[in-house]
Structure 1
Amino acid sequence: MSTITLTTWSLDMSSPGDLVPAAAPGPEVTVVRSEVPSPEFSRFLYASVGGDIHWTDRLALTRAQWVEQLGRPGVETWVAYDRGTPAGYVELDPQDDGVVEIMYFGLLPEFRGRRIGGHLLSLGVARAWDLASRWPDREPTRRVWVHTCSQDGPTAMANYQRRGFKLFATETESKEESETPGPWPGA
């Protein structure tokens, strides 16, 4: 198998005022919080969004591991719908000391390039900043961060930077190239 160079960029923002929202793509796109944790739905989103861009870290998780991950206080999944069809999602992962990571963010391939991503990211970041209003045991958010890599979509990094994220770390490593599993891993 061949080796590739993988670059991972970490970006953050330290104030809700840093967010530069994208324009809404139109009334046919809505973003709704998935308030009932559903491992099946979250796995569908994860595999469908990440199948062509090398998201594989969660594919081997058992249902119980998905339940554990999604059931932690403050973990939220926000889903973009285009005329009732899931188009993408953002998953918020609260961490210690008022930090929230945008753990996963992306669109299903059919919905990329339609101005949905900037809007979804804007709403996801805003929800990261006001997470404590929905989870009273959490301290207020003081930092939101995300990482992206050279295998993510070609517009990912630019979208994060347009929303106000600032680069704070870059890591490069050699990695064995792997095939993308597609939206139906194992099929």
Structure 2
Amino acid sequence: MSTTTVTTWFLRQTSPADLRPAAAPAGDVRIVRSGVPSPEFSRFLYTAVGGDVRWTDRLGLGYEEWRALLSAPGTETWVAYEDGTPAGYAELAAGAEGAVEIVYFGLLPAFRGRRIGGRLLSYATARAWDLGERWPGLGATRTVWLHTCSQDGPHAKANYLRRGFSLYDTRVAEERDAAAPGPWPGAFARPSEGV
């Protein structure tokens, strides 16, 4: 089986003052917290956003595993909607010693390149900084961090850097090649000629 060299970058903010918000995109874009932990909705977002960039780590999880992840204290899903249609999401998870990870972040392919990503990242990062206010007992956020890799969208790392994240670690590894799973079976198959 062939492999690909994948570079993973770890980025963080160590103060709320690090955040450099993006300008609001044109159009009716709203960002709303998904208040009910819903494995069905979260799996939809995960596959729709990550299907073309090889997000596969959660594909094998069962319903109860999804529910447990989403129901953990300090875990939140923030969804961007454009004109009422889900455009992308960010999943936050509180960790040890005041660290909050932006576990997943991205846009559905049809919504990329429309300035929604900068706005969603700005909003999600601000929500990571005030996460402790919504979850009594967690304490104040001390750092917000995330990782991206060379297989993610071409503008992902630049968006993080523009929002005030700084690089603190880089890792390079060989990973087995896998086809992009797509949001459904055959999503990236070419249509037959004459159809």
TM-score, normalization: structure 2? 0.94
The amino acid across from 1:137 in the alignment is G
2:101 corresponds in structure 1 to 101
SS of the residue corresponding to residue 43 of structure 2 reads helix
Structure number, greater radius of gyration: 2
Of the structure 1 ranges 176-185 and 147-156, higher mean CA displacement relative to structure 2 is found in: 176-185
Aligned-pair CA distance for 1:66: 0.2
Taking the aligned partners of 1:39 and 1:3, their CA distance within structure 2 comes to 31
Q: How does 1:33-72 map to 2 (within 5 A)?
A: 33-72=33-72
Taking the aligned partners of 1:161 and 1:52, their CA distance within structure 2 comes to 23
The answer for unaligned runs of 5 or more in structure 1 is none
RMSD after superposition: 1.0
Taking the aligned partners of 1:138 and 1:121, their CA distance within structure 2 comes to 22
Taking the aligned partners of 1:59 and 1:156, their CA distance within structure 2 comes to 22
The amino acid across from 2:88 in the alignment is G
Once the two structures are superposed, what CA deviation does each residue of 1:79-132 show, in whole Å capped at 9, x if it has no partner?
000000000000001001110000000000000000000000000000000001
Following TM superposition, the consecutive aligned residue runs of length 4 or more in structure 1 with deviations greater than 2 angstroms are none
What fraction of aligned residue pairs are identical, expressed as a percent? 64
Q: Structure 1 residues 73 and 185 mapped into 2: Cα distance closer, same or farther (>3 Å)?
A: farther
- Is 1:170–2:170 an aligned residue pair? yes
Taking the aligned partners of 2:182 and 2:99, their CA distance within structure 1 comes to 32
The amino acid across from 2:129 in the alignment is W
2:121 corresponds in structure 1 to 121
2:190 corresponds in structure 1 to none
Of the structure 1 ranges 176-185 and 58-67, higher mean CA displacement relative to structure 2 is found in: 176-185
The answer for unaligned runs of 5 or more in structure 2 is 188-195
- Is 1:30–2:37 an aligned residue pair? no
1:90 corresponds in structure 2 to 90
Aligned-pair CA distance for 1:26: 3.0
Aligned-pair CA distance for 1:3: 1.3
TM-score, normalization: structure 1? 0.98
SS of the residue corresponding to residue 17 of structure 1 reads helix
SS of the residue corresponding to residue 64 of structure 1 reads helix
Asked if structure 2 preserves the Cα contact closer than 8 Å seen for 1:47 and 1:185, the reply is no
Query: How many residues were matched structurally?
Result: 187
